[in-house]
Amino acid sequence: MVVAVSEKIHWADVFAAKVDPEISHRIATGITPSGPIHIGNMREVVTGDLVYKGMRDRGLDVELIYIADDFDPLRKVYPFLPQDYAQYIGRPLCDIPCPCGECENYAEHFLAPFLAALDVMDVHPHVIRASREYRGGSYTREISRVIEKREEIKEILERVSHRALPDTWSPFYPICEDCRRISNAEILAFDPEAHKVRYRCECGHIGEVNYAKGEGKLVWRVDWPMRWAHFGVTVEPFGKDHAAAGGSYDTGKEIAEAIFQYRAPFPVMYEWISLKGRGAMASSTGVAVTINAMLEIVPPDVLRYLIARTKPEKAIDFDPGMGLLSLIDEFDRVAQAGESREYEFSSITGIESVIPFRHMVTVVQIARDEKGVLEILERSGYAIRNREGVLAAAHRARIWIERYAPDFVKFEVQETLPSSALEPDANERYALGVLAARYMALDDWSAERLHNAVYEVGKETNVDPKQIFTAVYLSILGQKRGPRLGWFLEALGRDFVVGRLMEAVNAGTE
């Protein structure tokens, strides 16, 4: 890694420099796969990956893990679920049927596309499923300890989080044999030898579970420090909700030390990603853009860049409309500059986008088909080396226009002279005629020349260039504004542009 003296040190390198270089490290990330995993969730894992790469580049011994909390209960019927999912509330996600009927279970339905997206984004954690750990008996020793020490844990939780817990409070939730819910049950008896817990469920059922077989789980505030100790987690990114005073990191830290004699991981707190104008992203409220939806539009490098360019403690206001175009432009600039740490952290393919996305947005709206796209690009002076790559970029631009583009970006080249173009006054008509003649004579059909010609003609004819711009857009699009004129006319080609401008001039005189 080469860091110029004048260059600011990247935040991931700053974190990497703060951890103990003498020990082996494990960075843990985790998400509950209760719904479509959105780019707000992505921040958790990509933040972990950036710190991981920062540490790796310093020569540290480090591993990245991702724990899928597929043993968590379904909390409610989310907007994207059928109403009959009400019957599954409280059941572990891994025991609920998947909404599409094709996947192993509910959790896998949302995990599969997320894990595929991580792979595309060059994030390759060791994946752990909470359900398999619990049911495979990995946590048995820790659960015994937690139940033995439950009074001590209760005292820590009450003192650090300033909330009173009921006398019947238990750090362990059995899965009730009768209602099959992860139940806030009362523990009646505990047999650490046999790993059994006798409980009275909220539903009234009295029964016995074996926690060595995963017939129950620890409450979140205890589960978290337990897994730090179990997996030897030394660094962990987490959302700001856990970082609040008396929050689960604070209680987890004390529980880890007192119960497991383990030091809490180095914290990497991150802020939310919100959707511009709509608030914090959450799949439970439907305010979210999924990672997979974004990967249909931008290369994965750009999504990594979104996280890499912002310090974790700063909120990100994500705008999939014009904001996304600015993000892509910014990434292209960083890519062209090369060699920055931000670029190293974001770049996956190393392939620069040859054709600016903004330009592609214009091209696909002019072209009727793929052949047209390639013709226009060649006319605009792009040498098409990677035909497939260019057409994929064109496809992404089309999806963006359909789903996220504001109306002012959209246009349609009219096949015949639009009726709204038949209004120019005599001066404008004269200027349009001069412009058409100028265009016909140009030896260099380039965006810059085409654009500048409008100003030259404006000066010569004493017509405000703004009026000329408007008249050109009106005669081609039937609307007063359009894409940047030079590029636009260059893409349309000389025959079409000159022909149409002459039509507009003549139509006015008829």
Shortest Cβ 205–Zn ion spacing (Å): 4
Q: Which is nearer to Zn ion, 100 or 441 (CB)?
A: 100
Cβ–Cβ contacts within 10 Å for residue 289, how many?
22
What gap in Å lies between CA 242 and CA 251, rounded to an integer? Answer: 10
Q: Which is nearer to Zn ion, 86 or 203 (CB)?
A: 203
Q: What is the dihedral of CA 12, 237, 19, 130, to 10 degrees?
A: -130
> Shortest gap between Cβ of 215 and Zn ion (angstroms)?
12
DSSP state of 175: B
Could you tell me how many residues make up the chain?
510
Closest CA to 10 of 333, 310, 271: 310
Tokens of 220: 């979140």
Q: How far is the CB of 167 from Zn ion (least distance, A)?
A: 20
CB-based burial, 349-380: b 16+ in 10 Å, e otherwise: eeeebebebbbbbbbbbbbeeeeebbbbbeeb
If the CB atoms of residues 2 and 100 are measured against Zn ion, the closer one turns out to be 100
- Closest contact distance (angstroms) between CB of 178 and Zn ion is 5
- Between CA 432 and CA 437 the distance in angstroms is 9
Q: 190 vs 170, 227, 419, CA distance in Å?
A: 11, 22, 84
Nearer to Zn ion, 90 or 483 (CB): 90
Of 112 and 507, nearer to Zn ion (C-beta) is: 112
Angle at 461 between CA 456 and CA 466, to 5 degrees: 65
Closer to Zn ion by CB, 105 or 414: give it: 105
Positions that interact with Zn ion (CB under 5 A):
98, 100, 102-103, 109, 176, 178-179, 201, 203, 205
- Closest residue to Zn ion, judged by C-beta, is 176
Least separation in angstroms between residue 213's CB and Zn ion is 18
What minimum distance in Å lies between the beta carbon of 116 and Zn ion? Answer: 13
Cβ of residue 73: shortest distance to Zn ion, in angstroms? 12
Three-state helix/strand/coil letters over 370-396: HHHHHHHHHHCCCCCCCHHHHHHHHHH
Closer of 58 and 205 to Zn ion (Cβ): 205
Gyration radius of the chain over CA positions: 30
